[in-house]
Amino acid sequence: MNNKKRRNRLDIVRDVLKAVQDKGGTIKPTHLLYKSNLSHNRLKEYVDELSGKKLIVEVEVKGKTMIQITDEGHSFLERFDKLREFTDAFGL
Amino acid sequence: MGVPIWFYGVNALLELIVTLACFLIFYSGYKAYRLTHEKKYRFFSLAFLLLGISFLARTLLHLLVFPLNATFIIDKVRGSVNFGSPFYIILTLVAYLIILAVCFRIQRKKTISILFLISLVGIFFTFNPMRNFHIISILLLLYIIGHFMKNYIRKQSLSSLATFVSFLLILSGHILFLALTFGVWQVYLAYLLAHLFQLAGYCGLLVTVGKVLIK
């Protein structure tokens, strides 16, 4: 039996951002793929969503596409725990 | 329903505190929305904005009555106070329906609008709109509280317990206000307790939600 709790959207967002942050703020998409433990399509969805929310940006580094966390992304991670408590309090 | 004269002004003060609590909860919810851009936070904050406006309207009405500290004038202005009631009723009802929709993830606008219209008909096509408003509010709050109770059982956290208890207090306030429309219990005490329950409920929510305000 799988004892691991299923991650919700907010958990996944946090994991994706944390993976980028832990890599010094910039990460290769392939590294992010295995660090975030998502399928390619699901990760693309999240990357698009987080880019739309300006939490991450796609940048070109030496001709390669990299994913970079923004200041808003850092701020999001800082406030994540409080937001989690807020969400948990209301079961949203 | 008779309201003790000495309580005019005091009730406005209590409602003003509730108004501030609602606006701060709105601000916290809006901050959560700014952070996540998720609609549920936007609607959650909107519900408390509406509650804040409705309580502000009541506060202003009670403040208007306060300087006219005489029974006969109060009787005269009671009619004008009743004009403020529909405003309070409609905004509060919409706010509760939005909270219900967010809690139960109701996304169809038609479902909410039907609930709203049925509630309005049930409230205003009666001899005592305030009584029916409290009955409908109690019913809506029972469903909302059911959600928060399940949430507390699932999460077992202090904040989820605080939310559950806060809404229980708000519900208790409505029950007391309803009892007043039937003329049961000692009126002055029930009126005071109803306001205090309401105040405690919204302050409880403010403490829970306010944690988002503090960086």
Report pLDDT digits (tens) over A38-91: 889 999 999 998 999 889 999 988 888 899 999 989 888 887 877 777 888 888
d(CA B174, CA B141): 9
Q: What is the CATH number of the domain that holds A57?
A: 1.10.10.10
Q: Which of B203, B39, B160, B145 is nearest to A90 (CA)?
A: B160
Tens digits of residue pLDDT in B39-72:
888 999 999 999 999 999 888 877 776 555 545 5
DSSP-assigned states of every residue in B160-178: HHHHHHHHHHHHHHHHHHH
A55: in domain: yes
A47: in domain: yes
A66: in domain: yes
Q: Are B135 and B174 in contact (CB under 8 A)?
A: no
d(CA B167, CA B164): 5
Nearest to B212 among A75, A86, A91 (CB): A86
The structural domain count of chain A equals 1
* Backbone conformation region of residue A25, classed left if phi is above 0, alpha if psi is from -120 to 50, else beta: left
A56: in domain: yes
Interface residue ranges in chain B relative to chain A, Cβ cutoff 8 Å: 28, 32, 35-37, 40-41, 44, 102-103, 147-148, 150-151, 154-155, 157, 159-160, 162-163, 208-209, 211-212, 214-215
A53: in domain: yes
Nearest CA in chain A to B151: A91
A3: in domain: no
A18: in domain: yes
What are the residue ranges in chain B where pLDDT is below 70? 1-6, 65-84, 184-187, 212-215
The whole-model pTM stands at 0.77
Nearest to B160 among A75, A79, A91 (CB): A91
For A24, the domain range is 9-89
Nearest CA in chain A to B101: A92
Nearest to A89 among B40, B41, B160 (CB): B160
Q: Is the ipTM of this complex over 0.85?
A: no
A2: in domain: no
Distance from CA of B146 to the nearest CA of A (A): 11
Contact between A83 and B36 using a beta-carbon 8 Å cutoff: yes
Nearest CA in chain A to B145: A90
d(CA B31, CA B22): 14
